[in-house]
Amino acid sequence: MSGQLMMEIGTKALELGVPLSAHFDLTWRCNERCIHCYLDHEDRGEVTTTEVKDILEQLAAAGTFFLILSGGEPVMRKDFFEIVEYARQLMFSVKVKTNGILIREREAARLRELAVEVVQISVYSHRAAVHDAITKVPGSLERTLNAVRFLRGQGLKVIIAGVMMRQNLGDHKEVQKLARELGVSFQLDPTITPKLDGDTSVLDLRIPDSALPELFRDGSLVGDADEFCAPAEVDASALEALPCSAGHTAVYISPYADVFPCVQFPLPTGNLRQQKFLEVWRDSPQMNEVRGIRLSDLHACSSCGNVASCSRCPGLAYMEGDMRGPSSADCDKSFARTGILSPRKRAALVQIAI
C-alpha cells in the first residue's frame, strides 16, 4: 500500500472517527524476560478464545482494518493460530509481533497460509552474548534468527526491530547488516519506557544523551539526515495539529480486555468485559479528553521551537505525571536532533548552573 494511499485512508478515518488500527496484546506471558520490558508477565485472567473473537468482531464492525497481535509472546497461546485465522476471516490486515523462539518451519508455513501481512521480530544484538543477556534466555538469538530464516523461506515480509539501550549501544550497525543479509527490514528505537505499574527503574537502561546525535545523523536510519534534523516551521496551523494518533485512529487492548489510547499510554478508558468497544471508543470521558488535546494545549511544549517536529509521546508524558506536559525522553531526542533547547531542557540546564 503506497504512502499516499495510507495518508488518505488515515485522514478519512480521522474525519469519521474510525479506529483504523488496533494493537491487541493477547497475553503478557512470555518465554523471555527482557531486562527493559514494561509488562507484568503473570497471567491474571487473560481473555478467552471466545472473548478474543467477540472483541475482533466488534473491532471489525467499528471499521478497524490494521490489527497488531502482540504480547508478551502471543505464540505462547495455544489458540494463537485459531485467533489469527479468525482475524483473517474478518478481513483484518494482520501484523504479528513476536520474539520468534516458538516459530519453526510448520508455524512459518501456517502464517503464510493465513496471509499474515508482516511479522516483526525483536533482535537486540548480532552478538549472542549481548542479545541473550538482554532476553535472559540462553540460545535465544540463534532460535530467533532461525525463525527469521523460516519466515523468509515462506516468502513472508519480516521486520527486525531493535531497542537501543546501554547494553547494546553500538551494535545496531551490525544488526542492520545482518538484516540486509537475511533480506528483511530493520527498525531501531532508542526509547525505553517505564513499566505499566509506574516503576521507572528500567529508565536507567536508556542510552546516554551524548549518543543520540550520531544516531539522528545516520542516513541509513533516518533518510535525509539534514532534513530529519531540521525543525519544522511553527505557525498557527501547526499548533492546532494532533499530538499523535492515539485515541484518534489507533487503540490498544490488553489481555484483560482493558482499552487504552495506546500501548504506551496506560490511561484506562474502559473494559470490554463490561462494555462494548464502540461505547468505550465513542463515549469514554478519558478517550474524549485525549482527543480534545491539540499542540497548542501543551504547556511548555507549545512554546518550544521543536513543537511542530517533536516525536513527543503523550503516553510517556502521562507516565511522567501530565499528559499535557513534556516527555523528558522526547525533549532529549529533539535537542539531540535539532540543537534547539526545549523549555524543559533549558530549565534543567539553569538548575544545574545554579
Closest CA to 102 of 84, 131, 118, 81: 81
> Which pLDDT tens digit goes with each residue over 164-185?
999 999 999 999 999 999 999 9
CA 235-237-242 angle, to 5 degrees, is 115
> Could you tell me what percentage of the chain is helix, strand and coil, using 3-state DSSP and rounding each to the nearest 5?
45, 10, 45
Is pLDDT at 342 greater than 80 in this prediction?
no
Look at residue 192 and tell me whether its pLDDT is greater than 70. Answer: yes
Whether residue 6 is predicted with pLDDT greater than 60 in this model: the reply is: yes
Go through 114-145 and write b for each residue having 16 or more CB atoms within 10 A of its CB, e for each that does not: bebbbbbbbbbbbeeebbbbbbebeebbebbb
Paired strand residues for 258: 271
User: Average pLDDT of the chain?
Assistant: 92
Q: What tens digit of pLDDT does each residue of 244-288 get?
A: 899 999 999 999 999 999 999 999 999 999 999 999 999 999 999
In the predicted structure, residue 350 carries a pLDDT above the cut 60? no
pTM here is 0.93
As a whole number of Å, the CA-based R_g of the chain is 20
